[in-house]
Structure 1
Amino acid sequence: MNDTPGSAGLHGPSCPSFPAATPLTCTVPKEFVHRAAVAEVLLTGWRRVDATHFTVTAQWPRLHGFYSAVQGRHDPLLTAETIRQAGALLSHAEFGVPLGHQFLMRDLSFTVDPRHLAVTGVPADLELDIRCSDIRRRGSELASMRYEAVLHRDGQIVATGGASFACASPAVYRRVRGERAGVKSSAHRPPMGPPVPPPDVGRAAASDVVLSPTDDAHAWRLRTDTTHPVLFDHPVDHIPGMLLIEAARQAALVTLGSGDHVLTSFTSSFDLFAELDLPCRVEAGILPEDFAGLSSVLVTGRQGDAQVFSCVVNAPRDQGLPG
């Protein structure tokens, strides 16, 4: 196991030393959460409770360059990115996964409580209670894991969620990916089509729109702007999962007919690598009502004849949410 110390007050290597009684906050090392930009690191520390139970701390900014507020509330997709980062952090810092190994996300789901998402006069400090299960090893190395998270803010549960992933060494990853391994974001890719109108998908800037219209009102072509500073924080050889979740969000908003809708839960599954050099068709449709008070939208992404991801997005039919 990696002997990196874990504590709720973890400081990054650039933080100065102060007496123990002085509470200080730094982000965790960006390498542990697979980000190139320190500004995109949401986690601030972690503490081991036992071998499969951990506490992780995080902070959401009042204003994020991409995950912007929705009706005065923090963007629900900050929850997805926080959960994603927590899994990567614990894998490296507590389960000993070497830096440079690849993480293959299988699924990621979350539900938020809009009552506790309000943007206030200070950043939102969060505490995540994380429990790991289905831990599988290949020899001494972590091969795959599932984890569930409960996110607390000011003593209230703001969100719940979970994810599962597999880990691959560089050699295994090269075998899995074949000739596509290491072909980074700058490689040949289909030209981007024009964006749908930004307000239709809750966006102010066309550069943040990830859908391009087609002749079918219920289908779009995915726009993969590999220069996007958040969705492509660093070069990769496939379409990132967070871009696919963003596509699901935008498709759901168009389907529901309002870019201002507050979306409260996402259940995502990643079936295959979404390739940068192939067009990806995103389709959406409203599901029959099976939960009181919720509208559900099924979003799928296809490349050729293969489904690469799916996501069920839920939104309260009554959008008159309490503040």
Structure 2
Amino acid sequence: MSVTTFRTESSATPALRPSLGRGALGVEARFPTLTSTVPKELVHRASVAEVLLTDWQRLDDTHFSVAGQWPRGHSFFSPVQDRHDPLIAAETFRQAAILLAHAEFGVPLDHSFLMWDLTVDVRPEHLGIGTAPASVDIEISCHDIVRRRGVLAAIRYEATLRRDGRTAATISGSCTCTTPAVYRRLRGRQLDAPCAPLPLSAPMAPQNVGRTSPVDVVLSPTEEPTRWLLRTDTRHPVLFDHQVDHAPGMVLMEAARQAMVATLGQGAFPRHLASEFKRYVELDAPCIVEACRLPDHAGQARVLVTAHQHGEAVFSATMGADVPLM
């Protein structure tokens, strides 16, 4: 269960018209060559610098086009073997899903989102870092739409992400939207009397999990080489862009990627991620991450990553990767 909760000073939803793209704001008419990001509140980011989307357009009731841009260098989604980090595609999809829910399906800004599953397949040959930021175009179709009292309650998205007309990634995921009252019933204790996070544990060696800085490492070693403690640094400016009462889904997906690299070796490049979010991951209790090597499939090395807290499964991911021949 990957949850996005974002608090604004006002819980009122801005008056958004259908298909409120950049042109509807009156910008293109005066300055047709200028580009800016979408409002950060519509993608649940506190920092404008973390917004990856620049525009969107309604094609029909269930199909949309979203535009975005990936920087050549990012403070967290750093290049992997001279390619864009595959997880930046997952974050782009997450932002697009929330954007459309608010701007096109009328979900109020004070509602919370629960992502239940997310699958990402990338084509490394189309992720290369060029001499300029990468412009991305995302075609999104919406399925299994459920409304309660006229408000979106559940939805599934299927997306194709393209660069220069070439498919760079295909992504899918489903989520539910909850009102503040429902979220309070689910998370009352954590909201009324939040517990202090666990003391920050020592990180794995960055180079062993595909990272260059210990600040970005989300796994701590244990006595067993295939088991780690989830390391949640609530001061991290990207993974914890704003205050939350649980470990964000991106932390868990990054943990899966790092566990995969630790299992397959430093040269492993992730191509496939199929994740399931089962329960909230609390910040004040140990969460154990485990990795198990699976048989290769379709030319990719595979690893199953699972996470448990309080003896219960909270997250799982199957990772597929290219591994260089030795």
TM-score, normalised relative to structure 1: 0.93
* % identical equivalent positions: 51
Cα distance between partner residues in 1 of 2:206 and 2:122: 24
5+ long unaligned stretches in structure 2: 1-12
Pick from 105, 116, 119 the counterpart of residue 129 of structure 2: 119
Q: How far apart are the structure 2 equivalents of 1:40 and 1:183?
A: 29
- Cα distance between partner residues in 1 of 2:291 and 2:192: 31
RMSD between aligned residues: 1.9
SS in 1 for 2:270: coil
Question: For residues 34-45 of structure 1, what are the structure 2 equivalents within 5 Å?
Answer: 34-45=44-55
Q: Assess if the C-alpha contact under 8 Å between 1:11 and 1:28 holds in 2.
A: no
1:54 equivalent to 2:54? Answer: no
1:299 aligns with 2:309: no
Secondary structure of the structure 2 residue equivalent to 1:264: strand
Alignment of 1:270 with 2:272, yes or no, is no
- Structure 1 residue 57 displacement after superposition: 0.3
Tell me which amino acid in the other structure corresponds to 2:178. A
1:106 counterpart (105, 112, 116): 116
Corresponding residue for 1:231?
A: 239
Q: Using a 3 Å threshold, how does the CA distance of structure 1 residues 18 and 143 change in structure 2: closer, same or farther?
A: closer
Match of 1:140 among 143, 146, 150: 150
- Per-residue CA distance 1:28-74 (angstroms, 9 max, x = gap): 00000000000000000100000110000010000000000011100
Question: Can you list the C-alpha shifts for 1:125-176, whole angstroms capped at 9, x where unaligned?
Answer: 0000000001001111111100000001001000001111110110010011
The residue matched to 2:185 in structure 1 has which SS?
helix
Report the Cα distance in structure 1 between the residues aligned to 2:278 and 2:295, rounded to whole angstroms.
24
CA distance in 2, matches of 1:7, 1:177: 33
Q: Provide the C-alpha distance between the structure 1 equivalents of 2:193 and 2:17, rounded to a whole number of angstroms.
A: 32
Give the aligned residue type for 2:315: F
Matched with 2:77 is 67
Greater relative contact order structure (CA < 8 Å, 6+ sep): 2
Q: CA deviation at 1:17?
A: 4.1
Distance, in Å, in 2 between the alignment partners of 1:36 and 1:19 is 29
Change over 3 Å in CA distance of 1:79–1:18 after alignment to 2:
closer
Task: For 1:319 and 1:29, locate their aligned partners in 2 and report how far apart those are by CA, in whole Å.
Answer: 45
TM-aligned CA deviation for residue 317 of structure 1? 3.7
Q: Which amino acid aligns with 1:272?
A: R
- Cα gap change, 1:18/1:45 in structure 2, threshold over 3 Å: closer, same or farther? closer
For 1:39, the aligned partner's letter is A
Instruction: Tell me: CA distance 1:263–1:183, structure 2 relative to 1, closer, same or farther (3 Å).
Output: farther
Give me the TM-score of the superposition, normalised by structure 2.
0.92
Deviation at 1:24, TM superposition (A): 1.9
Residue 22 (1) aligns with residue 29 (2): no
Unaligned stretches of 5+ residues in structure 1: none
Query: In structure 2, what is the equivalent of residue 283 of structure 1?
Result: 290
Whole-angstrom CA distance in 2 between matches of 1:235 and 1:96: 24
Which one of the candidate residues 3, 12, 16 is aligned to 1:3?
Answer: 16
Matches of 1:18 and 1:128, distance apart in 2: 20
Preserved CA contact (<8 Å) 1:9 1:24: no
Distance 1:255 1:210 in 2: 15
- Check conservation: 2:260, 2:305, Cα contact below 8 A: yes
Q: CA deviation at 1:3?
A: 3.4
2:254 and 2:66 mapped to 1: Cα distance? 24
Give the AA of the match of 2:236. H
Asked if the contact 2:229/2:286 (under 8 Å) is kept, the reply is yes
Conservation of the 8 A alpha-carbon contact between 2:138 and 2:160:
yes
CA contact (8 A) 1:210 1:246 kept: yes
**Cα displacement (A) at 1:219:** 0.3
**Residue 317 of structure 2 aligns with which residue?**
311
Aligned to 2:7: none
Partner AA of 1:293 in structure 2: G
Query: C-alpha deviations, 1:89-129, integer Å up to 9, x for none?
Result: 00000000000100011011110000010101100000000
1:254 matched to 2:262: yes
